[in-house]
Amino acid sequence: MAGLELRGVRKDFGSVAVLKGIDLSIRDGEFVVFVGPSGCGKSTLLRVIAGLEAATAGNIHIDGAEVTRTAASDRGLAMVFQSYALYPHMSVHQNMSFALENMGVPKAEIARRVDRAARMLRLTDYLHRKPGALSGGQRQRVAIGRAIVRDPKIFLFDEPLSNLDAELRVATRKELAALHAEIGGTMIYVTHDQVEAMTLADRIVVLNGGRIEQTGTPLDLYNRPANLFVAGFIGSPRMNLLPADAVRLSLGEATTVGIRPEHVQPCGEADADLTVQVDLVEQLGGETFLYTTGPNDLKVTIRIDGQSALGRGDRLPVRLRREHLHFFDAAGLACRPDTIPARSHA
């Protein structure tokens, strides 16, 4: 397994700049997730790392050796795609062993690797089947198995769970996490789904418009988003982003105050920062989301533990928990005012 270094990586398609200068170091054994909205350049970055696209500028090192102009087949990486890309006429066993046979790996070694991968992925009983006789989840596990048997320096995953239904996605996500714990390989995983990113990653790289917005552990990004984009992208329901003057928390250079839905607390009138009116209640059983409107048409989302008897039209005094406020300046960058008023009332 190996680490990866990207320095000033750019990719243009004709006159369109898709990657605008990516600098990133990934440690040996790390599980890194690239997350960002559709079209931000995640797949392009992965394909440039894989060698399936040539970088327009910058350089790439794997395990300390420059590979910027090395052919994909010589980089020692294995990629798993959303569309499993299995050979339909081959059995599961053949799908997994095919590349190794082409590489001239001895038969006994192939058998050992395929058996081990099949065991890890619970495919042992399906080795003789053709992909057409497998469920979507099993097919994706075969695609992952095909990557494992190659014993790659780095695993690259491009939205591998997107074609699975919700339940299977969660189950396969857990299997991937267990797999990483077991084989300890360097893994780079692309998704547009921030829940997948939060649950799988040692470290998340948030991409937007061909640039890295922020890199950090899932909780770093959740607790200390560096800018408005990351604040809004990580976390569901989204962080409330309120004009600072509207909540009378206008402080220094801060123009926007952010607060997550779980940090807006129902309270008595006397302690309230604002009173909101409930527009919509989502009861999830273990938690409840309230979508509300405050003064000046402020939209405020509130997360409550457990169940709530509140309904549409109810008035609710709430306080904004001071220790959980986020502040952003006019450029959208996180900032930290010197003092935070105890009360937001004028």
Q: Give the three-class secondary structure for 31.
A: strand
Positions touching Mg ion (CB under 5 A) are 43
Pick the binder of ligand ADP from 2, 4, 6, 18 (CB under 6 A). Answer: 18
Tell the smallest beta-carbon distance from residue 107 to ligand ADP (Å): 38
Instruction: Give which of Mg ion, ligand ADP, none residue 194 binds (C-beta under 5 to 8 Å, depending on kind).
Output: none
**Pick 44 or 308: Cβ nearer ligand ADP:** 44
Pick the binder of ligand ADP from 30, 35, 42, 239 (CB under 6 A). Answer: 42
Tell the smallest beta-carbon distance from residue 232 to ligand ADP (Å): 17
**Pick 44 or 292: Cβ nearer ligand ADP:** 44
Instruction: Give which of ligand ADP, Mg ion, none residue 39 binds (C-beta under 5 to 8 Å, depending on kind).
Output: ligand ADP
Pick the binder of ligand ADP from 13, 119, 174, 280 (CB under 6 A). Answer: 13
**Pick 43 or 256: Cβ nearer Mg ion:** 43
**Pick 60 or 121: Cβ nearer ligand ADP:** 60
If DSSP states are collapsed to H, E and C, what string results for 33-81? EEECCCCCCHHHHHHHHHCCCCCCEEEEEECCEECCCCCHHHCCEEEEC
Tell the smallest beta-carbon distance from residue 13 to ligand ADP (Å): 3
Q: How far apart are CA 300 and CA 289, in angstroms?
A: 10
Q: How far apart are CA 178 and CA 308, in angstroms?
A: 36
Tell the smallest beta-carbon distance from residue 42 to Mg ion (Å): 5
Pick the binder of ligand ADP from 32, 44, 78, 194 (CB under 6 A). Answer: 44
Q: How far apart are CA 275 and CA 257, in angstroms?
A: 17
- Total residues binding ligand ADP (CB under 6 A): 10
What lies within 8 Å, CB to CB, of 66 at 6+ separation is 59, 60
Cβ–Cβ under 8 Å, residues 189 and 26: no
Q: What is the largest CA-CA distance in the chain?
A: 78
In the numeric block, the tokens 């014993």 are attached to 151
Q: Residue 241's beta-bridge partner residues?
A: 258
Pick the binder of ligand ADP from 24, 41, 153, 205 (CB under 6 A). Answer: 41
Strand order in the sheet with 154-158: 77-80, 154-158, 186-191, 31-35, 203-208, 211-216
Say what angle helices 136-149 and 92-102 make with each other, to 10 degrees.
20
**Pick 81 or 289: Cβ nearer ligand ADP:** 81
In the numeric block, the tokens 């300390």 are attached to 64
Total Cβ atoms within 10 A of residue 322? 15
Tell the smallest beta-carbon distance from residue 33 to ligand ADP (Å): 13
In the numeric block, the tokens 């999830």 are attached to 284
Stretch near ligand ADP under the rule CB under 6 A, chosen from 40-48, 135-143, 222-230, 282-290: 40-48
Instruction: Give which of Mg ion, ligand ADP, none residue 96 binds (C-beta under 5 to 8 Å, depending on kind).
Output: none
> To the nearest 10°, the Cα dihedral for 240, 243, 245, 251?
80
256 part of the interface to ligand ADP, by CB under 6 A: no
Stretch near ligand ADP under the rule CB under 6 A, chosen from 33-41, 141-149, 172-180, 299-307: 33-41
Please tell me whether the peptide bond between 237 and the residue prior to it is cis, using omega within 30 degrees of 0.
yes
161 part of the interface to ligand ADP, by CB under 6 A: no
**Pick 190 or 302: Cβ nearer ligand ADP:** 190
Cβ–Cβ under 8 Å, residues 41 and 19: yes
Q: How far apart are CA 305 and CA 288, in angstroms?
A: 6
**Pick 36 or 294: Cβ nearer ligand ADP:** 36
Which residues contact ligand ADP (rule: CB under 6 A)?
13, 18, 36, 38-44
